[in-house]
Amino acid sequence: MDEEIFTEEEAIRNDIQSRIGEVEKERKHLIPILQMIQERHAYLPPEAIKIVAEHLKIPICEVYGVATFYNQFRFHPPGRHPIKVCLGTACHVRAGDIILENFERKLEIKDGETTPDKEFSIERVACVGCCALAPVAIVDDTVHGRMAPSKVEGLLLRIQIEKEKAEREKQKSEN
Ligand code: FES
């Protein structure tokens, strides 16, 4: 498993290093570089921050400072089931923050984090364009409108049941 993680990290590092080499070493390229990395790897690994800082010859804390300022950047790999909770105005006034808190409590992670088994990640997002359904959460690619704190557990349970069902079917087909 550790070997697997190591290989994955190494692959990410090599990819970033080869791509960043094509970009001029100028501070103005910082955000486009971070966007490029996130687009390719879905998050900004700590190693990426270091490589970017070295490439642009600026302190690591400056890269972190910029990356954390914009909430488009993630610092953890997304889970297999990414959960996005809308906290745009319409969702916020309809207690979107309580929905977010409920997901955080059930999964024991905070906004921007991923569960240790990499199954779930939580992210707060700005308006996703269906305010009439507020408050809204998106689980995988499905929009769940008129969310209520009491629906959070059911949603997570359904994913768990589907996962177990898929595993059972896989085992059956292997036997
Ligand atoms: S504010 Fe949540 S969908 Fe618009």
Cβ–Cβ < 8 Å for 109, 122: yes
If you measure from the C-alpha of residue 144 to the centroid of ligand 1, how many angstroms do you get, rounded to a whole number? 12
Question: What was the pLDDT predicted at 4?
Answer: 58
Measure 111 CA to ligand 1 centroid, in angstroms: 17
Which residues, at least 6 apart from 128, have a Cβ–Cβ distance to it below 8 Å?
A: 84, 86, 88, 136, 138, 143
Topology (CATH level 3) of domain 2-69? Arc Repressor Mutant, subunit A (1.10.10)
146-162 residue pLDDT tens: 999 999 999 999 999 99
Helix/strand/coil for 145: coil
Q: Say how many C-beta atoms besides its own lie within 10 A of residue 138's C-beta.
A: 18
Output the residue whose Cα is nearest ligand 1's atom 1. Answer: 88
Domain with CATH 1.10.10 in the chain: 2-69
CATH of domain 81-174: 3.40.30.10
Q: Do residues 51 and 90 make contact, with C-beta atoms less than 8 angstroms apart?
A: no
Q: Which of 94, 123, 125, 128 to mutate to test the pocket of ligand 1 (most atoms within 8 A of CB)?
A: 128
pLDDT in tens, 33-84: 999 999 999 899 999 999 999 999 999 999 999 998 887 898 888 899 999 9
User: 0.85 exceeded by the pTM?
Assistant: no
Q: Which of 105, 107, 95 is nearest to 137 (CA)?
A: 95
**What is the 3-class SS of 68-106, one letter each residue?**
HHCCCCCCCCCCCEEEEEECCHHHHHCCHHHHHHHHHHH
